[in-house]
Structure 1
Amino acid sequence: GTFTVRLLQTSIFQNTTLVETEGLGLLEDIELGSLDKHTWAIHFCQPWVRPALPRSDWDTIQNMIKIYLQQFNHLINEGAMQKDVPYPFVAQCVAGCTIFPNRTSHAFAYVGYNGQDFLSFNMDNYTWLPSQDTDLSRYVRDVLHNYTAFTELVEVLFNDTCVDDMEVLLHYGMAALERQELPVATVFARTLSPAQLLLICHVTGFYPRPISVAWLRDGQEVPPGPALNTSAILPNADLTYQLRSVLAVAPRDGHSYACRVRHRSLGTRSLLVPWGDSELVLIAGLAAGLLAAVAVAAVTA
């Protein structure tokens, strides 16, 4: 499959001498480690991460991160003073690499300023590109191009080190990446007015993140429209996900409704939760009308 390692950085520049930095490393959506905001030391979030690489490799990565952050803070402060940027302000970075099924790879790096896209790094010709054409972005771009040591560090850290180390991390972390948790779906209703009823399908506890949730009216999928509203997929505290899908209907309209859930953990089957019936039903993916099981136990078995 396709896998991505991302390093997230948020630096709050309170003034020219005080910078508060937080960092997080992710393999897909799995937290690998975080940075201590005071010492910039790596704290490992998964038990398999530290053994994945030799101690000397982690020491090298740790030193590269510290050098990068020192240079980053210096360059950003220099630009802020030259262009009279008011303090405090926030700089955010996301960088990493993606490995594709054919084993080719792509590295990336983006910089944000006060919540807006600011710069991106072109890994093909090792140049910085402004995301918005402003005097400040052009100035910072020129400073970075003139400071070749920083650009070379970014190139090595995210184009070489990232790809090499991700191969090893994938080997150690594959069990975590392939983890599957079954979705739990509940359907309930809320009355907005005598003329409108909201049917709510709440789906939670599933992993991995990709999922398909749809409403069926008399067995037919309800198409997108103003009556249908599905939330974003949100994280739970136990490293699973949740979302809800809301369908506005008229009370007692004579139709039957059900929430259908498709997820990798269900295989070729679907989870069907009818409105007005607490049963959970698994239906075969190739024969949607054929009931494969009726009991809740069939879903969790």
Structure 2
Amino acid sequence: MSPTGSVTLRLLHTSTFQNSSFVDTEGLGFLEDIEVASLDKHNWNIRFYQPWVHAALPRGDWKALEDMIKIYLHKFTHLINEGATENGVPYPFVAQCRAGCEIYPNRTSRAFIYAAYNGQDLLSFDLDNHTWIPSQDTNISQYVLDVLQNYTALSEMLEVLFNESCIDDLQVMMHYGQAALERQELPVATVFARTPSPAQLLLVCRVTGFYPRPISVAWLRDGQEVPPGPALSTSSILPNADLTYQLRSILAVTPRDGHSYACRVRHRSLGTRSLLVPWGHSEVVLIAGLGAGLLAAVAMAVIVVLWVRRRR
């Protein structure tokens, strides 16, 4: 689930128009970041990847969804080719759509549809007011806008598909896919150093193997968090082959500057605890949630020592 507690079902559609008669179409479906389905580019049939999706969507439902998607793709391909011809758009080019719906913790929901051309936002569809909104002022965006505003059948189909079917299907998927949505994997953090020059030391904190995606990684100098600045850089969160994530945070320091450094990791799988990996030490320390447990362990050790001494 997202940090806000909402759950999103996203459909990603990409069509590469090589020429007016050959279009390569790809489609993916995600529940949050879980890939649940893809579109067979040869026949536009839906392939499901999660075993619980079949239970969540009876065959009649996903067959109707598959038929609606095929109608949409036929209309989409015809519309784009027609617009390219009338506006002298050179081939090849790429048209993309991102659509779906989101349910919030208070059970309210929203649906969304965005279209792009060659990686640039083109227009979006306001499902509440049934209107298309341009994202740029170009000839092609104006042409597509004019066509879509008069293409009421497509707008009505999109409204049913995303304002109704998408929300209903998402609610069912949230029930059957609950275990997948609540999956948690602990992060593994290591700290090492690189020396690009004698005057500079790069401390690298590599965090990997965590799930879900949201995570907080910070550097501590003498116990105080290092604020953002040119000396601190953190990579994007990248996927691993085992469906977990990784990232790196790098802090530039002066060698032997007399300060102590540590990498601190916070993640949902850790609960109220944090991972603390000091530079120059191999051990990983769990903090901010172990105080009571640590005190209890110390007290138990003292009791055992006293008991053994009395027995002697």
> Which TM-score applies when normalising by structure 2?
0.91
Is residue 14 of structure 1 aligned with residue 21 of structure 2? no
CA 280–143 in structure 1, closer or farther in 2 if over 3 Å, else same: same
Is residue 65 of structure 1 aligned with residue 93 of structure 2? no
What amino acid is aligned across from residue 57 of structure 2 in structure 1?
Answer: L
Residue by residue, what CA displacement relative to the aligned partner does 1:65-122 show, whole Å, maximum 9, x if unpaired?
Answer: 0000000001111111111111110001000001111111100000000010001001
Is residue 227 of structure 1 aligned with residue 231 of structure 2? yes
- After the TM superposition, which parts of structure 1 deviate over 2 Å for at least 4 consecutive aligned residues? 284-288, 290-293
Aligned to 1:28: 32
Match of 1:85 among 89, 99, 102: 89
Secondary structure of residue in 1 paired with 2:157: helix
Structure number with bigger Rg: 2
CA distance in 1, matches of 2:97, 2:296: 49
Is residue 197 of structure 1 aligned with residue 197 of structure 2? no
What amino acid is aligned across from residue 44 of structure 1 in structure 2?
Answer: F
Secondary structure of residue in 1 paired with 2:12: strand
Deviation at 1:149, TM superposition (A): 1.1
CA distance in 2, matches of 1:21, 1:106: 26
Aligned to 1:181: 185
Match of 2:256 among 252, 255, 259: 252
Residue by residue, what CA displacement relative to the aligned partner does 1:197-222 show, whole Å, maximum 9, x if unpaired?
Answer: 00000000000111110111111111
CA distance in 2, matches of 1:22, 1:263: 34
CA distance in 2, matches of 1:110, 1:51: 29
CA 61–222 in structure 1, closer or farther in 2 if over 3 Å, else same: same
What amino acid is aligned across from residue 192 of structure 2 in structure 1?
Answer: F
Does the 8 Å contact 1:128/1:144 carry over to 2? Answer: yes
Aligned to 2:267: 263
Secondary structure of residue in 1 paired with 2:177: helix
Aligned to 2:210: 206
Aligned to 1:112: 116
- Identity among equivalent positions (%) equals 76
What amino acid is aligned across from residue 183 of structure 2 in structure 1?
Answer: R
CA distance in 2, matches of 1:154, 1:291: 59
Is residue 275 of structure 1 aligned with residue 279 of structure 2? yes
Aligned to 1:96: 100
Does the 8 Å contact 1:268/1:286 carry over to 2? Answer: no
Does the 8 Å contact 1:282/1:292 carry over to 2? Answer: no
Aligned to 1:296: none
Is residue 152 of structure 1 aligned with residue 132 of structure 2? no
Deviation at 1:292, TM superposition (A): 10
Aligned to 1:169: 173
Q: Which has the higher helix share?
A: 2
Gaps of 5+ in 2: 298-312
Deviation at 1:291, TM superposition (A): 9.3
Deviation at 1:129, TM superposition (A): 1.0
CA-based RMSD: 1.6
Aligned to 1:143: 147
CA distance in 1, matches of 2:296, 2:123: 53
Secondary structure of residue in 2 paired with 1:76: helix
Residue by residue, what CA displacement relative to the aligned partner does 1:26-64 show, whole Å, maximum 9, x if unpaired?
Answer: 011000100001111111111111121111001100000
Does the 8 Å contact 1:283/1:292 carry over to 2? Answer: no
What amino acid is aligned across from residue 55 of structure 1 in structure 2?
Answer: R
Secondary structure of residue in 1 paired with 2:19: coil
Deviation at 1:284, TM superposition (A): 2.2
CA distance in 2, matches of 1:291, 1:90: 61
Does the 8 Å contact 1:231/1:243 carry over to 2? Answer: yes
Deviation at 1:154, TM superposition (A): 1.1
What amino acid is aligned across from residue 80 of structure 1 in structure 2?
Answer: A
> Which TM-score applies when normalising by structure 1?
0.94
Secondary structure of residue in 1 paired with 2:44: coil
